[in-house]
Structure 1
Amino acid sequence: MSAKHATLGDYAEFHFPLVQDKTKAARRINTWLQVSLLERFPGGPGETPFDAVWPKEGSWTGVTYLDYQVVTNSEGFLSIVFNGEYTGAYPSAFSQSYRFETRTGQPLFLTTLFTDDGVQKLRYRVDELQLDDIDAFLKAAPSSGLDQEEAETQADLYRECGENIRKGLYDEREWQLRADALVMMRGCGFPHVAQALDDLGDKESRFDYETLAPWLNEYGRCLLLEKRTDCPLPERGPEGVFFGEIDDRFPVTLVLGAWSGPAWYAYDKYKVPIRLHREASKEGERVLTRRDDGDSTETFTLKWTDQGGLAGTWRRPGKVPLPVRLN
């Protein structure tokens, strides 16, 4: 998909992928990507797919650039990276990667592919590499192109970055699945006003799948090492795209954990996104509410089923709850 913005000049053309087949897997991939980055459901209202996120005419506030690259398109998984720019008080570049297993179209996460211990060891290893970079840089002589104040600011920012890494604040790093390796990005993300001082920049930590073998779970080894397409599907996690009905009459799509927010749903007939908030869960239930002016106007109360779906109720205040089934 592509479209041109009327007033953005050189940044006018936006590009976005669309998986073009009629399977549920394709529908899930398209839904996850469009909700995450465009805050819309596929086929929803608007003159272009980008209407919800790009600047209104005469304004610069919003997504001012968006393009993508298919990193890997194999029989077992699809990996895509987006590069863009968001402009608020000032422009800010972003890069966001997504991975999907191709049989069901559900997104892949580190916890889908690794054991719990493996996830921690991978993150620890990347943290070690970045801390080594920072320590070596701070021990070296300052760049000759900086004055004293700039050099002190640079050093303070790298020390702060190192402390944040040691505190475990960089758990959610950007990562990609490539044909023969997992690549995780490491960088300090200096604020916009100090980006020129970030001499280390963003670096890649590359791990071939053989190296990762001790940390992968059964599904991860099957998908990445054995490169099979018949791997037993992993246990569903708390995030993904779910299709189903309210009261066996109203088809809906629910998205949990997209980049744009904790939860969204839409009636398939209208495809208008409705944002939901996660409430404190109890006794294995997941509670999602829609709020208008601070008040809850509708509530989903859901539990995981043995089949890997969600079941429960939807209700409006003062109304009889209606059954919900999603998978």
Structure 2
Amino acid sequence: MIRGICYAVLVVLSSTAPTAWAQVAVDELSAEHATLGDYAKFRFPLVQGEGEAAQRINTWLQVSLLEHFPGGPGQTPFDAVWPKEGQWTGVTSLDYQVVTNAAGFLSIVFNGEYTGAYPSSFSQSYQFETQTGQPLFLATLFTEAGARKLQDRVDAMQIHDIDAFLQADQPNGLDQQEAEIQADLYRECRENVRAGLYDEREWQLRADALVMIRGCGFPHAVRALNDLGDEESRFDYEALTPWLSEYGHCLLVEKRADCPLPRPGPHGVFMGEIDGRFSVTLVLGAWSGPAWYAYDKYKVPIRLHQEASRDGAVVLTRRADGETTEIFTFQWTDDGDLVGRWQRPGRPPLPVHLH
């Protein structure tokens, strides 16, 4: 039995806070699961507001972590991911922290645990620009060369730490077999870093610095051997100036909330209509999968697969029992809109325009 869902204010803002802060009102969704004991209470942020920015942020977060569209069916927003009554498979704990609530961006980190064959903890950070509510990525904030330099710098720090650890005598109480397993895992991690296999690092936007989080992510069975754990590399925004894009400099160094927005895509939340009649919301690139969409009237999530395309089109398909049942085909416009068609096999296509 689920005990219900409640709403509580998360952030209370001081009247003496600088004007550059607290530009987004964040409330809280919470619900208790009846059979998870000490981990029964789940907490989740809810951005307040009637505009598209709040809708995009809430949609991206809930689809990414809950496989749920805001306001969709279910007793709670957590129904799709937490364990069914009497079972343990699913998300077994979930909490969050607002890292930074600034004039032009919002940064939130989630911590939780998923239980399948065994429990696995996870931490996932999200950043959003607050003009339109689209998620932020390093590729948006940095030039291509700047993002590469940042990645190289963090990789070099991690390789240095691993080498120093392997060269030192570690009085960690491990027996010979455990010590050999630990050393092999760190050598494997080092080679993965050198090969560029850790491109999607965890990162956060703090008040005055970008923080990159680096670690080796040992398998669950040997997690206790990960003496280095996760480490943070802090980069003050002023020091990043040579690497930032014009938009990144405006947002992070000048701390402006009215920065000219970069062209959206290829990930984000897009809203519009099919055939000018059916309002839909599309999510591209969320943590939970390639794409999801929902009819705004029903808010039921529909999972889509992204297909390879040679002409720059975005092709998304819905499948059932191995058969394709729906196809979206889009092209990007100069304004960053998605324009194309939706079609069921054997039926005429209908036009789609999303922004």
Shorter-chain TM-score: which interval? Answer: over 0.9
Equivalents in 2 of 1:289, 1:191: separation in Å? 34
Q: Shift of residue 282 of structure 1?
A: 2.4
Secondary structure of 1:251 counterpart: strand
Tell me which residue corresponds to 1:93: 121
The root-mean-square deviation of aligned C-alpha atoms, in Å, is 0.6
1:15 aligns with 2:48: no
Secondary structure of 1:252 counterpart: strand
Please give the TM-score of this superposition, normalised by the length of structure 2.
0.91
Q: 1:69 aligns with which of 97, 104, 114?
A: 97
Equivalents in 2 of 1:93, 1:118: separation in Å? 31
Q: Shift of residue 64 of structure 1?
A: 0.4
Tell me which residue corresponds to 1:261: 289
Equivalents in 2 of 1:20, 1:320: separation in Å? 40
1:187 aligns with 2:215: yes
Tell me which residue corresponds to 2:243: 215
Q: 1:235 aligns with which of 263, 287, 296?
A: 263
Secondary structure of 1:325 counterpart: strand
Secondary structure of 1:230 counterpart: coil
Tell me which residue corresponds to 2:152: 124
Contact kept? 1:142, 1:151, Cα under 8 Å: no
Q: 1:159 aligns with which of 181, 184, 187?
A: 187
Q: Shift of residue 144 of structure 1?
A: 4.2
Secondary structure of 2:47 counterpart: coil
Tell me which residue corresponds to 1:288: 316
Contact kept? 1:143, 1:151, Cα under 8 Å: no
Equivalents in 1 of 2:171, 2:241: separation in Å? 40
Equivalents in 2 of 1:134, 1:45: separation in Å? 48
Identical pairs, percent:
76
Tell me which residue corresponds to 2:301: 273
Equivalents in 2 of 1:10, 1:41: separation in Å? 27
Q: 2:88 aligns with which of 42, 60, 79?
A: 60
1:28 aligns with 2:56: yes
Q: 1:102 aligns with which of 127, 130, 135?
A: 130
Q: Shift of residue 307 of structure 1?
A: 1.8
Tell me which residue corresponds to 1:150: 178
Tell me which residue corresponds to 2:108: 80
Moved over 4 A (4+): none
Equivalents in 1 of 2:90, 2:78: separation in Å? 10
Q: 1:135 aligns with which of 147, 153, 163?
A: 163
Count of residues paired in the alignment:
327
Equivalents in 2 of 1:253, 1:130: separation in Å? 40
Please give the TM-score of this superposition, normalised by the length of structure 1.
0.99
Secondary structure of 1:290 counterpart: strand
Equivalents in 1 of 2:190, 2:211: separation in Å? 21
